[in-house]
Structure 1
Amino acid sequence: MMKDLLRRFYLWLLRRKRECKALESYYELYGSMLREVREETCRKFPEETGMLVEFIDNWIELIPRDKQLLHMVINSLSGILLFYLWRLSNWVTYEILSGRYFEAIRNLRFLFEGSVYAVVIEDAIERRIYEKWKALSGIDLKTEIFMLWDECRRKRVKGKKGVDVDKIRKIVASFINQHADLSDPKRREYIEVYTQILSDERLYLPVSRMIDEALELLGLDQNFGERLGNVWRELSSYLHFSHAFLKAILKAPELLSLEAMNKELFKKSLNLYFETLDLYYAVLAWRFPKLRENIKRVVEWWKEAFNKTFNLTETFLKNNA
């Protein structure tokens, strides 16, 4: 019986090995198709290809070396995005070069949305936390707020008359009572602080309107609002099954089932990449004054190397010199 069991196990391993080998062979073939698109992109747009690679290279210039600052960075929303940016910039660059434009734009939307949240939602959190405890919050507390925020939106605590504070308090109390091992006074304290944070009406604005709140906190002219609003609409247009997607494949049917070089979508993706990073760099400079010199060096390098400007970031740095 044991011998039969071992034989069956061996055959299962052999079958799995063959399946994995077949899978790898398929992805090698698929990878060669993507490589052809990248090679065509590089031939037709050598300078733009260089720009896409530089987005990856810029990342290391932004990482703080100071341990105390590093601790602050990893406990902030913009800092979480900074460390994720290594993976994201590698992948978005790869997608754009490989003709995966729709996917790249969706990933850029994630960074844009996160950048707006890193201003407005972080302000809502830290304003109350510092007021109560004279300290900034950790990423664990922010994670709990995000989870409760999702629950508040799901239960529609925001109505025509404003936010329902009592409803928010019940949601918060239920969570704290179930998950927090705290004394009764401390429990009540956390319930009150979390309720105050989640009662901030800014949290229930759509991103398109939250942009204006972010610009106000950044101290930037609302004239940037129209531009950022347009960027947000462009980024969102490929998230859903939309007219933008259908229009793109009507103009280039090959994009429906194959990755292929497309000049219009390549240029659009590259431009959205710049616009999204422009917002993110400004947010990072706002949140961490000690990183402003790093960011300044990056944007100055782009101006010298490619004559490209990050208007939002440069305006913020100039206003806060």
Structure 2
Amino acid sequence: MSNENFWNFEAKIFKEVAELTQKECKEDYKKIACVLDNWVDLLNIVRKYSQDEIINSVSAVFLLSSGKQMRWIAHEILSGAYFEAIIDLRWVVETIIFSFHIDKWLDEEAKLIFGANKGSEMSLKYETLALKDMVEDILRYTNFKDREKIKKEKIEEHIKHLSEEQRELYKKFYSNVLDKLLFCKFSGKKGLIRNLPFATNELNKLYGELSKYTHFSHKILQPIYEKANWDLVFNFSLDKELVATCTDFLIKVMDVFYATLYLKFPKIRDEIKQNLEYCKSNGVLFAITENVTKAPIDFKVSFKEAQELVNFKILSGNYIAREKGWERSLYHREIEVESETHRKLKELSVRYFQKLGYRTNQMPVGVKEEYAISDYFMVKDGIFYFVECLTNEAIRRDPKIIERKLKLTKYAPMWFVLERTANLKLFPEKDNIYFLLVDIRRNECIIPKKKKERSLVWQLGESDDPSAIPKLIEFTKSKNANERRLAASALGKLAKHKPQIYMACPHLVKLLKDEKPQVRQYAAKALGKIRYVKALPHLRALLNDEKYYVREAAKIAIKNCEREYERYKKEKGAPS
């Protein structure tokens, strides 16, 4: 077959599969067209930024070049190259993650060391990444112990042509930045995903699902084993299930793109919101971007910024674990890495706090002096807060975990994020401790009301002092129904103080005719506890009360008073 015939043959196959896909998978085809059409429009809007603003941002360069990449991925999906499309989508997600962090790290470090303008230069970013790649290639085949030595040698070699003063600055810059970049490479990408400002559990799941198709796994063999479809592996043919899967992946990756665009290009946020509405009307939802648009724009607080607000040293959870000599399993248990419930508590609470105006950082942190780590931290109005997410299972398994976490409240206020059914009585009542209850099934967060300061009426009832009785009698005459109810309840608590309590009984009898049913209920309860026999006719009248709980209180009170009457008859004869 000649070269020309070969390419014509291949083009014919692609065209046939694409036409069949368009015919058999109309909904998926419509979604892909909707997403890419809007994506091209947005890229044209982004180009309205100045060339300097675009060319000096790693994320911007990638995002602008991604239009071609995404169109090719769509072509792969429509032409039957499903696994190839998923491999490319995973590469796109990784590039977004790395470019986002690289821009942030290099800009922050450069501004800190070189001054305000240096952080925006692409030349410095290019040189840093080139140095990183060179060091990375060597470290890949080097013992862990020798890595620091090799890194220093390569930095020295890279900056040897500079003046002595410049060498010191660049040495510090490259050393700090390479630590972060190499950590990304050798410690995996989950940590990077977790520290994205729009990190969610859905994003973690997306990366995990994409990885199943790009590494050697059962997903590659599934078409052969379950469908006996050899063509799908060795040729290009239509598979409706894989078209739907790839379309879903494409939309989710585009969701990550939109979220990145929204944060990186403030001038086009209104256009992005309009595009989201248009896509939603066509059945395409971007959940991550929706959450980003609803949250405060500046919702991420840096480690350095938080440190300036407190007078103690904030340390990362990893650092504390190493200092304490914890095994990795113990550290993971402390921050509940394996718990799906814990991840949900953290994800929902971060989103909720951001809506309230808190700026969060999802890095586990603690204080060196204490044997405790909080799940993350946040800042609002210049105040630093520790945040600890505790599942019911963690509290049940380790009763001392609350005691450990509370040690951090000596240094800063603390929020405890708990399940909706958590027992708040396990925690002390302190001014610098706050609670957020999460209903995981409904995706709802609730801040429980703090207990109000106990009223004077309640305190008099708890005093166990008969001298409080005259004061409580005055409260039975109050215009406030709640005070009358509390007064009746408090007098019932002082029932043992006889004969002083009898002076309150006529006033309690009057309350049996109160307009408020709860006042009548507690007056009946109090008379029953006092066993005031003369109240029997009035209590019997309540047996016809409209409220069930009033009738029940009257029955119990009548029984107690009748017992008292029988006892009195036996001892002294019938009372007059």
Offset of 1:61 from its aligned partner? 2.1
Q: 1:78 aligned to 2:59? A: yes
User: Quick check: which one's strand share is greater?
Assistant: 2
The 5 A counterparts of 1:132-151 are: 132=113, 133-135=115-117, 136-151=119-134
Q: Distance in 2 between matches of 1:140 and 1:193?
A: 14
The 5 A counterparts of 1:111-130 are: 111-130=92-111
Does the CA-based 8 Å contact 2:25-2:240 persist in structure 1?
no
Report Cα offsets for 1:245-289 as digits up to 9, x if no partner.
122333332112110110111111111111111112112222222
Q: 1:241 aligned to 2:223? A: no
Q: Distance in 1 between matches of 2:177 and 2:33?
A: 40
Offset of 1:308 from its aligned partner? 1.9
SS at match of 1:168: helix
Change over 3 Å in CA distance of 1:203–1:122 after alignment to 2: farther
Report Cα offsets for 1:177-231 as digits up to 9, x if no partner.
3xxx5433223322221111112375343112321011xxx1x4x6x1x322221
Given the alignment, which residue of 29, 33, 42 partners 2:22?
A: 42
Report Cα offsets for 1:274-314 as digits up to 9, x if no partner.
1111112112222222232232222121012x132211111
Does the CA-based 8 Å contact 1:77-1:122 persist in structure 2?
yes
Greater CA radius of gyration, 1 or 2? 2
Given the alignment, which residue of 55, 70, 76 partners 1:89?
A: 70
Q: State the structure with bigger RCO (CA 8 A, min sep 6), 1 or 2.
A: 1
**Which AA in structure 2 matches 1:261?**
L
Q: Distance in 1 between matches of 2:87 and 2:93?
A: 10
Change over 3 Å in CA distance of 1:285–1:193 after alignment to 2: same
SS at match of 1:185: helix
Does the CA-based 8 Å contact 2:251-2:284 persist in structure 1?
no
Offset of 1:24 from its aligned partner? 2.2
Q: Distance in 2 between matches of 1:23 and 1:53?
A: 32
Match of 1:7 in 2: none
Match of 1:172 in 2: 155
Given the alignment, which residue of 235, 242, 251 partners 1:258?
A: 235
Q: 1:213 aligned to 2:195? A: yes
Q: Distance in 2 between matches of 1:152 and 1:80?
A: 24
Q: Distance in 2 between matches of 1:96 and 1:90?
A: 10
Structure 2: which 5+ residue stretches go unaligned?
298-576
Match of 1:291 in 2: 268
Report sequence identity in percent: 27
Change over 3 Å in CA distance of 1:73–1:44 after alignment to 2: same
Report Cα offsets for 1:146-177 as digits up to 9, x if no partner.
2332334444499989x965542322222233
Q: Distance in 2 between matches of 1:153 and 1:248?
A: 37
Offset of 1:67 from its aligned partner? 4.3
Offset of 1:28 from its aligned partner? 0.9
Q: Distance in 2 between matches of 1:67 and 1:212?
A: 29
Match of 1:99 in 2: 80
Q: Distance in 1 between matches of 2:73 and 2:47?
A: 26
Q: 1:272 aligned to 2:272? A: no
Q: Distance in 2 between matches of 1:124 and 1:202?
A: 13
- Which stretch of structure 1 is more off in the superposition, 30-39 or 72-81? 72-81
Does the CA-based 8 Å contact 2:256-2:289 persist in structure 1?
yes
TM-score after normalising by structure 2 = 0.47
Change over 3 Å in CA distance of 1:140–1:248 after alignment to 2: farther
Q: Distance in 2 between matches of 1:245 and 1:142?
A: 38
Q: Distance in 1 between matches of 2:184 and 2:24?
A: 44
**Which AA in structure 2 matches 1:124?**
W
**Which AA in structure 1 matches 2:216?**
F
Report Cα offsets for 1:91-139 as digits up to 9, x if no partner.
0111100001011111111110011112222222111012222123333
Q: 1:195 aligned to 2:171? A: no
Q: Distance in 1 between matches of 2:223 and 2:157?
A: 47
SS at match of 1:116: helix
Q: Distance in 2 between matches of 1:98 and 1:30?
A: 11
Does the CA-based 8 Å contact 1:81-1:111 persist in structure 2?
no
Offset of 1:144 from its aligned partner? 2.5
Match of 1:12 in 2: none
CA RMSD of superposed structures (Å): 2.5
The 5 A counterparts of 1:46-57 are: 46-57=26-37
TM-score after normalising by structure 1 = 0.81
Report Cα offsets for 1:56-88 as digits up to 9, x if no partner.
3222323324343x4222322221222222211
**Which AA in structure 2 matches 1:174?**
E
Structure 1: which 5+ residue stretches go unaligned?
1-18
Does the CA-based 8 Å contact 2:57-2:122 persist in structure 1?
yes
Q: How many residues align?
A: 288
Q: Distance in 1 between matches of 2:105 and 2:80?
A: 39
